[in-house]
Amino acid sequence: MSKPLILASSSPYRRELLERLRLPFTCFSPDVDETRQPEESPEAMVLRLSQAKARAVATALASQYPDALIIGSDQCAVLDGQVLGKPGTEDKAMEQLRASSGRCVTLHTGLCLYDGDSGDEQLDRVDFKVHFRVLSDAEIQRYIALEQPLNCAGSVKSEGLGVALFERLEGEDPSALIGLPLIRLTRMLRDAGHPVI
């Protein structure tokens, strides 16, 4: 009998990605402070937060799902060493996209699969590079008005109209771009004795 699968996230984008695997799962929002620690690299931050999210949900649901496999993930966008968070406002989205215009932004996505039964965990990071074409202010404004990417790292909703902002993409796992690297996750699930197919 397979173990229950829990996605430690409230993100609709991650939920939609995980649905592609056609496995039954439950979502539970982790209570984790996502503040970057002093001197912490973006790469270290996404690993720490994906692990913290999985562990927080494991603890919160230990009595209900003691043997669950819990998926934690975290993503950040980085331009010139600076983390581009979720903009929250249209003005901030405009600022982020102007800065990204004609440049390369790296998305770091941390992934953790925590086994509530054994306490074992698999932790990894998948990087993806997005090369933006040169964007006019009018294009950026239209994109923001149409897509409203205010809760997306770097103001990019790549699964939608955001694809029109790009010159090219560079990476091994296109689902990492949206926030849950499915190629890596399916490998982790196989290693945990929970194959997808």
- SS3 string of the chain? CCCCEEECCCCHHHHHHHHCCCCCCEECCCCCCCCCCCCCCHHHHHHHHHHHHHHHHHHHCCCCCCCCEEEEEEEEEEECCEEECCCCCHHHHHHHHHHHCCCEEEEEEEEEEEECCCCCEEEEEEEEEEEECCCCHHHHHHHHHHHCCCCCHHHCCCCCHHHHHEEEEEECCHHHHCCCCHHHHHHHHHHCCCCCC
pLDDT surpasses 90 at 158? no
pLDDT in tens, 83-115: 998 899 999 999 999 999 999 999 999 999 999
Percent of the chain residues topping a pLDDT of 90 = 85
Determine the pLDDT at residue 160.
84
Predicted pLDDT of residue 153? 85
What are the residue ranges spanned by the domains of the chain? 5-191
pLDDT higher than threshold 60 for residue 1: no
Confidence (pLDDT) at 23: 95
Q: Is the model's pLDDT at 49 over the cut of 90?
A: yes
Under the banding of pLDDT at 50, 70 and 90, the label for residue 133 is very high
- Per cent of the chain over pLDDT 70 is 99
pTM value is 0.91
pLDDT surpasses 70 at 137: yes
Q: Is the pLDDT of residue 131 over 70?
A: yes
Tell me if residue 74 is catalytic. yes
What's the pLDDT score for residue 145?
A: 96
Considering the candidates 74, 115, 127, 173, report the single residue annotated as catalytic.
Answer: 74
Confidence of residue 13 (pLDDT cuts 50, 70, 90): confident
* pLDDT interval class at 157 (50, 70, 90): confident
What is the pLDDT confidence band of residue 139, given thresholds at 50, 70 and 90? Answer: very high
Average the pLDDT over 154-179 and give the result: 91
Query: The domain 5-191: what is its CATH number?
Result: 3.90.950.10
